[in-house]
Chains A and B, each alone.
Chain A
Amino acid sequence: MKVIYTDVLVIGGGLAGLRIAIGVRRRGHDAIILSLVPAKRSHSKAAQGGMQASLGNVIKGQGDNEDVHFEDTVRGSDWGADQQVVRMFVNTAPKAVRELAAWGVPWSRVRKGDREVIINGQKVTITERDEAHGLISQRDFGGTKKWRTCHVSDGTGHAMLQAVADQAIASGVPVHERTEALALIHDGSRCFGAVVRNLITGELTAYVAKATAIATGGAGRVYRVTTNAVICEGIGAALALETGVAALGNMEAVQFHPTGIFPAGILVTEGCRGDGGLLRDASGHRFMPDYEPEKKELASRDVVSRRMEEHIRKGNGAKSRFGEHLWLDITLLGEKHIKTQLREVYEICQSFLGTDPTRDFIAVRPAQHYTMGGVRTKHTGESPTLRGLFAAGEAACWDMHGFNRLGGNSVAETVVAGMIVGEFIADFIESPQGDLDIPTALIREAVAAERAKLDALLASNGAERAEALKAEMQQIMTDKVGIFRTGADLEEAVHRLQALLARSRNIGLRTHSEGPNPELVTAYRTRKMLKVALCIANGALARTESRGAHFREDYPRRDDAQWLKRTLATWKDPGDTLPSFAYEPLDVNAMELPPGWRGYGAKDYLDHPDTARRAEELTRLRERLQGADRHAVQAGIMPYEHLLPERFRGRNERIDERLP
């Protein structure tokens, strides 16, 4: 049996995993990254439009700061987020952008003087300040009060991933490419690493580590229609779930992006609408102002996606042989803008649709896009129930997105959480808590258990085909656990997914080779994906309210009185066919921003009994702190800075907020 020892085992080679590894290396520890694919091919690369950080360099971002970013994010989350974590995030995001600039990310820069932009369908001339010339530029995105989204044309994730992956190479972090974790090694209270399969040779190796970090991204591929890469199958979440100890938070919170190219689901960035693009229906009518007079096309993604589906239901969709869709119109932005600032969109339209977005509308319909839920962690990134297991990025429920994530906040989370969690992991392994005391029997048994499962699969002539079970799961999720949900649909979905899980125990293979065997991979992953899908569907069935992206037609109101709490799913016994649920309340009395109207979307919601009291208390606190600067006011209301690793504390300088 092969065993590899290291300080930190990072599962996932995207931005979050890479940044964690770099952080722990800089603290003098070893790290190994496991990746299904070469790190630079990770799904982080697909982030197009940009990364939110309140630099406030552009004139339309003037006045932006952590406070505004905080409020936008909490409103976006429909009050599902952990507000202290949001504070940690918004204070670190500007530092992350600046670190990436130093690492070579060619952020698009501000050009001083007049420029023409499209706002609300109109051409407007704005004038950038002389002192902003050459600083990092920001564009508009949905659900934000200021232009805050820093970008590299519309290839932001690509440029970030190139730079961070290169820094990982520079730091000497080994990336074990084409390897896959099959199970975590643990004793029910402490995680010791993972059993890992080499996808080229089929060989199993035990990786034993003081700390293990899951940074495997989202679970989009449990849906049929998704913008996600084919590797985003929720396997990291499943690894945690299968421990029976670690919990998944809010898995029912699934984001649907308004502009997936119809019907393939390939993403076109929110930057299209941020830069002035409009949504139109079959008759060419711009319909979003009818529904959302305040934010129009730039309400949060959950709201825009629902309004689009509502408009299609009313019979306004454009018809095609694949079904109905709507149009994204960016023709008004002009050829030069599209070919420089939206060039991925331009190329995607050319390659996949054979159309020219400078002249033609783009066929779009909402598609699954983001998993707000994930491995539940403390603010340090560590699982509260399985010591030594950490998670970061989309794979985690940290929880800064609550029930809806804002565009530009996920690629920002990857690097910010990577920075912060990387420091906490280094702290952990430098403390007595991080000491390894593992019986070798535990390693041997963990490897033997996975070996036995693979052998059984390879030898099986069972009647079920993994590919067919997976396709049926994806269809159920897209049809029954989508944008509009009902109790009846969700019950049916749970019932059918349970049946699929039972059938998955009888999968047979046609290919019996140990090495590169795509059928074997599909077989063991499908079993894991079904458990994740059940957490989503059953969590959605249990949550009898509507919040953010989770919308129940039979319970259309947000219900703070009953549901201001986070869903925690665990899989107690391998033989179970359903997850077990517990709920973690969010404390209104500790909130900096108590629940209210988001500024877009539905205005009716049921208040939590403490909301009015907390609001009054905050008014009194603010009166008492009158005259103090905004940092002191914030610290007086909801202190958070002590939660940050020391090296990332401190204020952020801006043109209008100079540091001494």
Chain B
Amino acid sequence: MSDTAPAPSATAAATAAGPARKLRFHVLRHDPHDPASVPHTDVFEIDEAAGMTLFIALNEIRETLDASLAFDFVCRAGICGSCGMVINGRPTLACRTLTKDLPTDIMLAPLPAFELIADLSVNTGKWMRGMSERLETWVHSLDEDVDLRRIEAPMDPDLADRIYELDRCIECGCCVAACGTARMREDFVGAASSSATTTACSVA
């Protein structure tokens, strides 16, 4: 391997931009804690920017157009599962949705099936904790008896990789929101739960 490699000629960041599109966000608004609140749609118009994600766009709307707009982001890097919402009819993570992949009119709604906090913010945490308590989706072991000074029990490397594959669920709730059965039957556990259960069982 030589110490010098040809640099890429162009990157996404360096791509020259054409005239910015005007994006129109149609956002479903409601604050269930406010007796006067009636569900309705507000429309916000902003200029698209290069590399714009819905994280960037929604923050811009809140900073410049409506300080009361409620939504949830934490990691803004696609790993924490906070920002699931329905984007043009499809439940997905807002932080890793690039506006360039969307039409100029963008419909945003909160995930169904979860308790609404306000606007685009829903209580997925409460649902996930409830599911975990109900199904006991943790490793049931007698680990207090494990001598932490001793070498760990070996595990087949392929098995470890397979468990991680199941363990990657970030509990964003998109699968539950998209599931007809989960929406009709309150006690249906949904796909997130099967992943958590399988992980716990594989380890044990």
Residues of A whose CB lies within 8 Å of any CB of B are: 26, 37-43, 45-46, 55, 94-95, 97-99, 101-104, 106-111, 121-122, 133-137, 152-153, 155, 158-159, 162-163, 166-167, 169-170, 175, 177-178, 200-201, 229-231, 262-264, 266-267, 280, 282-286, 289, 318-322, 325, 327, 329, 332, 340, 344, 347-348, 351-355, 360-361, 363, 467, 471, 509-511, 513, 515-519, 648, 650-655, 659
Contact = CB atoms under 8 A, between A and B. Distances in A.
Given A41-B80, A285-B3, A110 B73 contact: no
Nearest to B6: A284
Nearest to B93: A351
B144 interface: yes
Contact of B67 (A95, A170, A266, A510): A510
19 contacts: A38-B125, A38-B128, A41-B81, A43-B74, A98-B146, A109-B157, A135-B151, A170-B136, A280-B5, A280-B7, A284-B5, A285-B3, A340-B161, A352-B53, A352-B96, A516-B31, A518-B68, A651-B149, A655-B151
B7 A40 contact: no
Contacts of A515: 31, 33-34, 118
A42 B81 CA distance: 10
A347 B78 contact: yes
A452 to B, nearest CB: 22
A515 B116 CA distance: 13
A347 B168 CA distance: 13
Contacts of A282: 7
A653 B149 contact: yes
Contacts of A94: 148
Contact of A134 (B72, B82, B157, B161): B157
Contacts of B69: 518
Chain B interface helix/strand/loop/mixed: loop
B75 A45 contact: yes
Interface stretch (B9-17, B39-47, B102-110, B182-190): B9-17
Nearest to B81: A41
B79 A363 contact: no
A516 B79 contact: no
A652 B13 CA distance: 48
Contacts of B62: 467, 518
A320 B63 contact: no
Interface residues of B, number: 80
Given A283-B4, A284-B5, A509-B67, A231 B150 contact: no
Interface in B141-179: 141, 143-144, 146, 148-157, 160-161, 163-164, 167-168, 170-171
10 cross-chain pairs, A with B, having the tightest CB-CB distances, nearest first: A38-B125, A134-B154, A104-B139, A166-B138, A95-B148, A102-B143, A106-B163, A104-B203, A519-B67, A109-B157
B33 A200 contact: yes
A41 B5 contact: no
Nearest to A169: B132
A94 B132 CA distance: 29
Nearest to B126: A177
B179 to A, nearest CB: 20
A213 B185 CA distance: 40
A516 B160 contact: no
B98 interface: yes
B28 interface: no
A266 B155 contact: no
Given A289-B3, A321-B50, A347-B78, 10 more contacts: A40-B80, A104-B203, A158-B168, A325-B13, A353-B12, A515-B118, A516-B31, A653-B150, A653-B151, A659-B149
B31 A99 contact: no
A166 B137 contact: yes
B70 interface: yes
B99 interface: no
Contacts of B191: none
Contacts of A363: 11, 13
A46 B138 contact: no
A102 B12 contact: no
Contacts of B21: none
Nearest to A419: B148
B76 interface: yes
Contacts of B160: 106-109
Contact of A110 (B140, B157, B167): B157
Contact of B117 (A99, A104, A133, A200): A200
A509 B67 CA distance: 9
Contacts of B67: 467, 509-511, 518-519
A162 B167 CA distance: 8
Contacts of B76: 229-230, 266
B161 to A, nearest CB: 7
Contacts of A40: 80-81, 125, 128, 170-171
Contacts of A136: 152
Contact of A355 (B12, B123, B155, B164): B12
Residue of A40, A45, A653 with most partner-chain B CB within 10 A: A40
B155 A263 contact: no
A264 B121 CA distance: 24
B100 to A, nearest CB: 8
A614 to B, nearest CB: 32
A653 B81 CA distance: 38
Contacts of A351: 78, 96, 98
Interface in B19-76: 31, 33-34, 50-51, 53, 62-63, 67-70, 72-76
Contacts of A170: 136, 138, 140
Contact of B138 (A109, A169, A332, A352): A169
Nearest to B100: A354
Contacts of A329: 5
B139 A163 contact: yes
A401 to B, nearest CB: 22
A360 B10 CA distance: 10
A270 to B, nearest CB: 16
A153 B166 CA distance: 13
B13 A320 contact: yes
A467 B60 CA distance: 11
A648 B147 CA distance: 10
Given A99-B143, A352-B53, A510-B68, A177 B8 contact: no
B103 to A, nearest CB: 18
A91 B160 CA distance: 26
A332 B1 CA distance: 9
A135 B155 CA distance: 7
